């Protein structure tokens, strides 16, 4: 019985740690957009809504491994601007589906295209939607790891400077 309780506590601790990691991700992960659009005001203004969408997904699912519909819509919006031509049909379908389900206001008059709330994706578009959501999530995790490494490196530099400063003061 003791072994079972310890196993339960360990799994509870792992679940709690995973939940905290996802909460940190929800609050701090960057928006992933098409290269060149990282500083675009349209996308930066959506950051708070993306955080709220992540928190809502976390509250609903208690775990997630993909980007929100809003994040997919934002990425596809930037991709449509950066691609230099029309999106392939599956990509356009994913963009419209994510836009309909995210509350993202498209920068074009899309009332007729956005009305059909019940429209489902075909197999290929659904596969793209799922893969894109996981890809964006993984890119966010990579960006957070890089940010963490840079912060650790900066702290290391600051610690060295502080140690040398203390050594200098001690010798004076």
Q: Please tell me what DSSP assigns to residue 38.
A: T
Q: Inform me whether the pLDDT recorded for 16 exceeds 90.
A: no
Global pTM?
0.77
pLDDT for residue 72? 95
**Percent of residues, the chain, with pLDDT higher than 70:** 81
Quote the pLDDT of residue 52: 93
The rounded distance, in Å, linking the Cα atoms of 74 and 104 is 8
Looking at beta carbons, which pairs linking 19-28 to residues 24 or more positions away fall under 8 Å? 19/58, 19/62, 19/63, 22/58, 22/63, 22/64, 23/55, 23/58, 24/144, 25/54, 25/140, 25/141, 25/144, 26/51, 26/54, 26/55, 26/57, 26/58, 27/51, 27/54, 27/55, 28/144, 28/147
Q: Is the pLDDT higher at 28 or at 64? A: 28
pLDDT at 167 (0 to 100): 64
Q: Which helix (H) or strand (E) holds 62?
A: none
The residues, ordered by sequence, that sit 6+ positions from 143 with a Cβ below 8 Å of its Cβ are 29, 30, 32
C-alpha count within 13 angstroms, C-beta hemisphere, residue 50: 27
Kindly report, residue by residue over 80-119, the tens digit of the pLDDT: 888 888 899 999 999 999 999 887 665 555 555 555 555 7
The pLDDT confidence band at residue 130, using thresholds 50, 70 and 90, is very high
Listed residue (123, 124, 139, 120) closest to 72, CA to CA: 139
The better pLDDT of the pair 31, 39 is held by: 31
Which one is predicted more confidently, 98 or 155? 98
What residue spans of the chain are helical by DSSP H? 2-28, 41-44, 47-61, 69-82, 89-102, 111-115, 123-171
Q: Taking all residues of the chain, what is their mean pLDDT, rounded to a whole number?
A: 83
């Amino acid at each position: 019985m003791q072994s079972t309780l310890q196993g339960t506590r360990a799994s509870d601790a792992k679940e709690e740690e995973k939940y905290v990691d996802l909460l940190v991700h929800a609050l701090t992960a960057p928006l992933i957009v098409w290269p060149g659009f990282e500083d675009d005001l349209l996308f930066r203004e959506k950051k708070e809504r993306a955080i709220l969408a992540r928190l809502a997904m976390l509250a609903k699912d208690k775990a997630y491994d993909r980007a929100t519909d809003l994040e997919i819509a934002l990425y596809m919006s930037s991709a449509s601007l950066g691609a230099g031509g029309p999106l392939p049909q599956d990509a356009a379908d994913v963009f419209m589906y994510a836009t309909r389900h995210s509350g993202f206001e498209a920068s074009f008059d899309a009332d007729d295209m956005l009305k059909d709330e019940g429209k489902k994706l075909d197999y290929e578009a659904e596969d793209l939607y799922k893969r894109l959501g996981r890809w964006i999530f993984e890119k966010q995790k990579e960006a957070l790891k890089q940010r963490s490494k840079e912060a650790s490196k900066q702290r290391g530099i600051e610690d060295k400077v502080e140690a040398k400063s203390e050594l200098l003061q001690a010798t004076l």
